[in-house]
Amino acid sequence: MASEEMRAQVEEVLDKLRPFLLRDGGDVEFVDIDEEGVVKVRLLGACGSCPSSTITLKAGIERALLEEVPGVKEIEQVF
């Protein structure tokens, strides 16, 4: 199980990215992080159905988490 500190760091990064998603009518919800460092998120609103959501997820959210949260290995979208 991931530490509370790691969870807090993930939430902090998502909070920094959230205004950009909200501007386009979407949002991101932190679901969980497993012991291997896989962060699970749910894209909401316009982001959930946007054809570019994979790019948003991998190039935007995942990149930021990998850079700013030690121990994060990848991001996975859950529905």
Helix ranges, 4-68 (H): 4-23, 46-49, 53-55, 63-68
Structural domains present in the chain: 4-77 (3.30.300.130)
Residue 61 in contact with residue 79, Cβ under 8 Å? no
pTM of this prediction? 0.91
**DSSP code for 50:** -
pLDDT tens digits for range 7-58? 999 999 999 999 999 998 999 999 999 999 999 999 999 888 888 888 889 8
